Chain A
């Protein structure tokens, strides 16, 4: 497989917090457009891996190439191409859901009309159209997660990094979220470029069934 067909290439990736290794010896080749499930117990470095791929953390050792961009050296090239959904919703509590998305659209340089069209469509898909003008501080955790999902994909990224995307969502919310962050055949917004998807999950059976590849982490390294 040529370099450009690989969305994520990891070689002996490791990250330490002080003296404590959080992630060690991770190797991976993930083709563009494929879906990867990251499994492992608490503390095995799943969120750390996602934050490294999102350019939010520097690796302590190893090689990382994401969408043909070596990290951390050329991380700036990736900005705007990644959709990241972490444990925190990354929403301003004193703005409404819609205002948060409008702010996000302006940061990503989206043209106003296109941004408005996407915001309405995405809010509709996650069932938040009628509650988009409430302040985020008044939302439940599940409602915040729905708006955070809209935020993560508003700029139509090439790479989706999802850290337990179903957390706080009820069954209806999980179903609704699939059109924005599901597998490539479920996405409602995918353009000509195939979207690569990396999702951390605590539901191994479901994750294995949905993903093209599985990366199983263990505390201090990769599961045998």
Chain B
């Protein structure tokens, strides 16, 4: 068998090279997020947001931008026969799950590096909560990546995959969103960040991540069967 790490690195490198060459996922995600901020800015008719409203705006935007990336993560495997090629190779199948989740995590990280500063410029008067928010973003990304990869691998073989991904993903992602918004609310308070229940929310995020990483790792083998 090919070592897990070698297969993982090969798939991640292949996906990143393809994305850098074609720019099919990230620009769409960034454009969606920035456009949504513009709409919120004019729709809410507010130049500054704080607390739960700021938290709600940023996580709603990131969630739906993430769905765009999740929809596409397995498309080359589906349309160009990559699933068959992978199933023929002497590779542990969870390596594909781990690699795709890692790629999705990177997409989300790049998205956030671009759009969180845009959000701050548009809406925040107090920026000091952004540094601790990085931990929340990273933990939430991991949950998105694990669950999104799992859901995408289930939906990709269906003709209705564009409908199935949000239908399956959105209900399951509610606990993650509650924890992410809960952890972010007091970081974005108008008077500066406070850390009320911050640790508890991080623990919830970590538990969610752990559960879906383990579930994905355990069931992915069966999802690739005919």
Contact = CB atoms under 8 A, between A and B. Distances in A.
Interface of A: 54-58, 79-80, 82, 84, 86, 88-95, 99, 103-104, 106-109, 151
Interface of B: 1-3, 6-7, 9-10, 14, 17-18, 21-22, 76, 80-82, 84-91, 225-226
Contacts of B17: 95, 99
A57 B76 CA distance: 20
B90 A109 contact: yes
Contact of A107 (B7, B21, B80, B84): B7
Given A54-B88, A92-B80, A104-B85, 12 more contacts: A58-B226, A80-B90, A82-B88, A92-B18, A92-B82, A93-B80, A94-B18, A95-B14, A104-B89, A106-B7, A108-B90, A109-B1
Contact of B84 (A90, A94, A108, A109): A90
A84 B85 CA distance: 9
Contacts, number: 78
Most buried by A among B2, B22, B76, B82: B2
Contacts of B6: 106, 109
Contact of B2 (A54, A95, A108, A151): A108
Nearest to B221: A76
23 contacts: A55-B87, A56-B87, A56-B226, A79-B88, A80-B88, A80-B89, A84-B88, A88-B80, A88-B81, A88-B84, A90-B82, A91-B80, A92-B14, A92-B76, A95-B14, A104-B85, A106-B9, A107-B7, A107-B10, A107-B86, A108-B89, A108-B90, A109-B2
Most buried by B among A55, A79, A99: A79
A152 B80 CA distance: 15
B5 to A, nearest CB: 11
Given A88-B81, A89-B81, A91-B81, A106 B87 contact: no
Contact of B226 (A57, A95, A106): A57
Contacts of B9: 106
A20 to B, nearest CB: 16
A163 to B, nearest CB: 12
A55 B225 CA distance: 10
A99 B85 CA distance: 14
A49 to B, nearest CB: 14
Most buried by A among B9, B76, B89: B89
A102 to B, nearest CB: 9
Nearest to B93: A76
Nearest to B79: A93
